[in-house]
Amino acid sequence: MAAVFASTINVVGKTLVDPSLGYVEDAVHPLSLAIFLGLISGLFFTPFAKGKTSPKKFGKKTLFFVLMLGVTDVLAITTNFFGLNHTTAVNATILINTELLFVVIIAFTVFRERIQKRETFPLGLIAAGAIIIPIIVDISENGTFVSGFVVGDMMIILAALFFALDISIARHVSNIIPATRISQISAFAGIPFALLLMLIFQIPFDIPWDQMPSIVYMGIFVSGLSYFFFVIALRLIGAIRTVLIYSTTTVFGIAFSGFFLGEEITDLNIFSVVIILGGIYLLRKKFAKLEA
């Protein structure tokens, strides 16, 4: 269930930020979207965080990291949806898998995790499937590296980096603070940062009432329940099986993009997914260790 809900982020997000689809007349600005998602997600986690560690008991360093989670959340969401406005939901679903590579790189450089020689091949598979093949296909189809599609691809990869930073920071503080409290505070903490960016860049704040059902869905099911179910799965079936099953997010995302948005799913898209899933399977022990 976590994989199914998480896989819809780019499908629903595409309908919100790209008016060319015909679902809405005006696109929702990614920063406005980040504010609403933060508010809805924070409210969702509030009942679960009740009675947990009070923020007053956080050390200054811990509080700083939790607040930084809000910042990285906003940066990840906004860059992801800016990218979605220029590329397809299928491509975004494949490219966001680079988050796994960035998580491993951060673990290697910051947390001093060791990468064994046998792990370099599966890492290469994920890189090939999630970055090299999709971008080469876009360049070959559009004829230039600076086409809108390729720029959108690069924005998605940047979003993956921010998501990886988010995961790495959460991993660092999760040993000190319950996950529900982290999710609640970080969601609310991102709101003032997003508002500050809107003031700096003079972006008008509009309330997209006609798109609220989709935004509420993303706040509750994508940001809320998918994370909640993921944590439950970790406890019930262990980290290795959870990581392997959750990797089907890419499969669901591509299927939903084709079914609901009518996007073309090519043989190369399927080949990319197969390579990525193969790399994830070979790296199952490494990812399980990082999730522990």
The 10s digit of each residue's pLDDT in 30-43 is: 999 899 999 999 99
For the ranges 54-68, 184-198, 203-217, the lowest mean pLDDT is seen at 54-68
Through-space distance between the first and last CA atoms of the chain, rounded to whole angstroms: 20
183 backbone dihedrals φ, ψ, rounded to 5°: -65, -40
- pLDDT per residue as tens digits for the range 75-98: 999 999 999 988 889 999 999 989
Amino acid found at 78: T
Please, which residues have CB within 8 angstroms of residue 194's CB and are 6 or more apart in sequence? Answer: 31, 34, 35, 38, 74, 78
pLDDT value for 22: 57
Mean pLDDT check: name the lowest of 127-141, 142-156, 159-173: 142-156
Q: Identify the band that residue 194 occupies on the pLDDT scale cut at 50, 70 and 90.
A: very high
Per-residue pLDDT, 290: 61
Q: What are the residues whose beta carbons fall under 8 Å from the beta carbon of 253, sequence distance 6 or more?
A: 7, 8, 9, 10, 11, 89, 90, 93
The predicted structure's pLDDT at residue 12: 92
